Structure 1
Amino acid sequence: MKYFFCSFLLFPIMMNSQANFDKAEKLFSQEKYTLAKPIFENIIKDNPNHLKALEYLGDIEGHYKAWDNAMVYYGKLKKLKPMEADYYYKYGGCLGMKAKEVNKFAALGMIDDVKLSFEKAIALNPNHIDARWALIQLYLELPGIVGGSERKAQNYANELLKISPVDGYLAKGHIAEYFNRYKEAEKNYTKAIAVGGSKNTYQKLSNLYKNKLNQPEKAKEVMDTYSRKG
């Protein structure tokens, strides 16, 4: 009887908490982050281990480029649920963005942790697409003297090709474009269109024609083809 009475008293509190979470989640989906944030903060005051509220707060801080604040939330999530790949991916992403904003000496000290975070995400979820994309970009942007490597970027692109062919071709096109091998990039973006056919695949090829090959008429033709397809 005592257990039933306590449960009866707690039920309205639980319902109110869920209603607040649903409200904050809706605001977040509408990109009304400044309105959603205090509601999520109140939720974790009452329930410090509320995983989704913590993740949304991390996402909000990341949106506003408050990388340290975001990493606090993602760091807590990693401790609460250490087998969740996305938490490591998001933590690594924030650390990587922070590394771009600090001096080069400080950034060098962060690179290994960035790599390890993305690699951990892949270890926990072998099909993690975004972590591979992040590692590709990291290896392209890093100078060779501190670990930059087209070969390593290509290895992750090859892995993407097996997991998600459209991402694999887009990644290979991106790498080729990064090194100004525009014909190779064109070939891979065309393959991505054939496999995926999404607006993003058409835009990649269109942007290549417009921004790198100075062929605005071909860029328009590509997007016109997509419009007719739809």
Structure 2
Amino acid sequence: MRLHRPFLLIALVALTTTLPVRAQSLRDPAWEALLENDRHAELENQARQRLKAEPGDPQATLALGFAVLAEARPATVDATVPLVEACIARHPEAAECHYMLGNLLGVQALRGGMLKGMSLAGRIRESFQKAVDLGPDVFNHRIGLMQFYLAAPGIAGGGVDKARELARATEARQPEQARCLRALVEIGEEHYAEAEKLLWAVQPGNDNALRSTVYASLAQLGAQKLNAKQPAQAQSLFERLVQADPSRAFAVYGLGRVKAETGAPQEAIRYYAQARALRGQAGLPIDYREALAWLLLGDTAKARALLQRFVAAGRGHPKNVEDAKERLAKLG
């Protein structure tokens, strides 16, 4: 039975890490390049400068939101919500601001637990629906609404039937997007083999958001195989992903996880080092996983330094952060 989780980030999809946000709706190529290359601080700084000169500017608001989501620091997320609300007040027709509000509220809901999620559910759904209504061809908007439907229970406005209807409604205008959306429904229903088949069949063309979603969703399936104690199948999927797009970090990181799980920590560390240099590495708990590998090798000094950096970054999964703190306490 599929479990309803508090609401997910664009996330598309619930991954072991946040899915990479992608800037299909950023119209400035320079800003898109900053996001694609994980230069989040530069993007945030430029967006804030634009907002000082042009309060409520939709594209600057979107760029700021993307940068903030990539770093996932709770205080910064909370402080950005009023700026996005100000964009909507000034430009109610700006689909990108409604979309970003849904994402930021989703992060707050995920962090706050079930009660917080239920209290924000209506606003999250309305934000994503408004984004789809105003920008129906932008895949980011549809994926946000899809994620809400898959994560939220029916009483909060979610449900798999609504998710399937959204995929069907996309078919005529955007068939490749629809194929990906159907795959996400299958993942939500734990029909992993069918989901993988659909995802590999998607032809994203020039749609960067669609391509990123397909990649991240396949990476999720690799993580699922690893969690299901199927390391050989996980390795095969991650290797295929690396061949399909060697510039992204998640599959290389996934290969490191496979090696760690199969008793080869030195090889795991080598893959983690490779992943650090690739796109999307900022959202991955590489420091935490590498620290565990060094502990297996008996190098407590390197493990301690990595765990301290991971905790100080303040953006890891709460379970991993808590484990890191406990390990640091034992290491002294």
Report the TM-score, using the length of structure 1 for normalisation: 0.69
What are the equivalent positions in structure 2 for 1:14-33 lying under 5 Å apart? 28=34, 31-33=38-40
1:89 maps onto 2:99 in alignment: yes
Find 1:64's aligned residue among 60, 71, 76.
Answer: 71
Structure 1, unaligned runs of 5 or more: 1-21
2:290 — aligned with what?
A: none
Kept in 2, the 8 Å contact 1:85–1:124? The answer is yes
2:177 — aligned with what?
A: 167
SS of alignment partner, residue 188 of structure 1: helix
Cα RMSD for the two superposed structures: 3.6
2:162 — aligned with what?
A: 152
Q: CA deviation at 1:148?
A: 3.2
Kept in 2, the 8 Å contact 1:202–1:223? The answer is yes
The change in CA–CA distance for 1:40 and 1:119 in structure 2 (over 3 A counts) is closer
1:4 — aligned with what?
A: none
Kept in 2, the 8 Å contact 1:206–1:218? The answer is no
SS of alignment partner, residue 109 of structure 1: helix
Structure 2, unaligned runs of 5 or more: 1-27, 206-210, 246-332
Find 1:143's aligned residue among 130, 139, 153.
Answer: 153
CA distance in 1, matches of 2:99, 2:167: 17
1:219 — aligned with what?
A: 237
CA distance in 1, matches of 2:235, 2:54: 56
CA distance in 2, matches of 1:62, 1:89: 13
Kept in 1, the 8 Å contact 2:186–2:194? The answer is yes
1:80 maps onto 2:115 in alignment: no
SS of alignment partner, residue 162 of structure 1: coil
Q: AA paired with 1:83?
A: E
> Which has the higher mean CA deviation after the structures are superposed, 52-61 or 140-149?
52-61
CA distance in 2, matches of 1:46, 1:186: 46
Report the TM-score, using the length of structure 2 for normalisation: 0.50
2:121 — aligned with what?
A: 111
Kept in 2, the 8 Å contact 1:99–1:106? The answer is yes
Q: AA paired with 1:102?
A: G
The C-alpha deviation readout for 1:33-83, integer Å capped at 9, x for no partner, is: 445655654554454355544443343333333222221221111122221
The change in CA–CA distance for 1:36 and 1:182 in structure 2 (over 3 A counts) is closer
Q: AA paired with 1:74?
A: V
The C-alpha deviation readout for 1:114-160, integer Å capped at 9, x for no partner, is: 11111111111222322221121112112344333111011112223
The count of aligned residue pairs is: 203
The change in CA–CA distance for 1:43 and 1:123 in structure 2 (over 3 A counts) is closer
Kept in 2, the 8 Å contact 1:88–1:121? The answer is yes
Work out which of the two has the higher radius of gyration on C-alpha atoms and give 1 or 2.
1
CA distance in 2, matches of 1:202, 1:37: 25
The C-alpha deviation readout for 1:68-105, integer Å capped at 9, x for no partner, is: 22212211111222211111101111111111111422
The change in CA–CA distance for 1:50 and 1:84 in structure 2 (over 3 A counts) is closer
> Which has the higher mean CA deviation after the structures are superposed, 136-145 or 55-64?
55-64
Kept in 1, the 8 Å contact 2:84–2:101? The answer is yes
CA distance in 2, matches of 1:68, 1:199: 26
1:128 maps onto 2:138 in alignment: yes
CA distance in 2, matches of 1:42, 1:196: 33
CA distance in 2, matches of 1:50, 1:199: 26
Higher RCO, 1 or 2 (CA under 8 Å, sep at least 6)?
2
The change in CA–CA distance for 1:131 and 1:50 in structure 2 (over 3 A counts) is closer
CA distance in 1, matches of 2:54, 2:215: 45
CA distance in 2, matches of 1:207, 1:53: 30
CA distance in 2, matches of 1:131, 1:202: 18
CA distance in 2, matches of 1:144, 1:49: 34
Percentage of matched positions with identical amino acids: 23
CA distance in 2, matches of 1:186, 1:45: 45
2:18 — aligned with what?
A: none
Q: CA deviation at 1:208?
A: 3.8
CA distance in 2, matches of 1:27, 1:221: 26
